[in-house]
Amino acid sequence: MTAAKALTLLFVFLIISPLNASSGETVLFCAAGDVLLDRGCRMVTRNNGFDYLFEPVRSFIQSYDLAFCNLEGPLSSRKKPSIEKMRFCADSSSVEVLKRSGFDIYSIANNHMLDYGRRALMETRSILETNGLIGVGAGKNKNEAVAARIIETKGTKVAFLAFTTVSNYGTQLPENLPCPAIADSATVADEITKCRSRADIVIVSFHWGVEYSRLPSAEQIQLAHLSIDCGADLVIGHHPHVIQSIEKYKGKFILYSLGNFAFDQHKQEQRESIIFSCAFSDRKVEFPRIFPVIIPDRIYRPELAGCEDSIRITDRIKKLSKDFSTGFRDGDIEVYLE
């Protein structure tokens, strides 16, 4: 680790520690975007070991009580894909990469989760659970797929819901077979309403939008607003593979796309990302902020961005968000949301 990166992490810990010390009930949370364990990410892991992919950000992620991201594709030893077009699958042993990442909760509601069939989807959920990790947004039938996972940490109950609007297999999947959670307005509203009386904080994740589009679609905005209207405290998006706008709606934050996180795409905007961070206290989301992240080309593993990259990334986010009622205040290495 370079001296600059070490200094960056030191700043992060100095910023986070006072929040954690202020109350035994405060829960620190962070979220990142798409994580791929296939293709180029599989190659660098095979060549460098299970620790390699998340080594530059591991200490940062582990400093949070709860950490969330999207797992782009199943974990399975199955060899035959269910379709012949682009498909992702990581070997079951790749769970060792996830165990070393610092993330606790993974969305498995996305368009690639059925790439190797229904058995691989269920194998993914089982592998995560067996290794002390949590998968949300897929299950043995529709009811299990759409159900929230509620995690109690430091006396705070946090409900996670995950849905996808994007499917390689159509959005009318059989309700009695393994599937990812497909988002429709009625289901999203119903599941959030169920959570509201059972949890202190409700987080809704969506795999949605148009790939490589900088701005959210009308469908994204509609679902995000619906989620908050029904009681969600925070909405987190992924799938476009680039950063999108951040909105403040009725006092709650919507991150339409966090971008790639560990991924093997090469264009500059595909290699720029953010980590969202906040604290949960007294049933509220506090201290919301973003940390710019860069994925060096041909290396595929994320690291906290340096000064020049941070300025470029945050300037673009501010421009993308100018019509979405979000205020920004620059910190030392992060940007606070207001």
Per-residue pLDDT at 78: 76
Stated pTM of the model: 0.92
**pLDDT tens profile 203-258:** 999 999 999 999 999 999 999 999 999 999 999 999 999 999 999 999 999 999 99
Mean pLDDT of the chain: 92
Greatest CA span in the chain, whole angstroms? 54
pLDDT, one tens digit per residue, over 35-84 is 999 999 999 999 999 999 999 999 999 999 999 999 999 999 876 665 66
CA end-to-end span of the chain, whole Å? 33
Kindly report, residue by residue over 273-327, the tens digit of the pLDDT.
999 999 999 999 999 999 999 999 999 999 999 999 999 999 999 999 999 999 9
pLDDT of residue 168: 87
User: What pLDDT is stored for residue 85 in this prediction?
Assistant: 67
Q: In this model, does residue 173 exceed pLDDT 90?
A: no
The H-or-E segment that residue 125 falls in is helix 118-130
In order of their start, the domains of the chain are 3-337 (3.60.21.10)
Q: How confident is the model at residue 8 (pLDDT cuts 50, 70, 90)?
A: very low
Q: Which residues contact 152 (CB under 8 A, 6 or more apart)?
A: 158
Question: Whole-angstrom Cα distance, residue 130 to residue 94?
Answer: 13
Alpha helices in 164-217 (DSSP H): 185-196
Contact (Cβ atoms closer than 8 angstroms) between residue 234 and residue 208: no
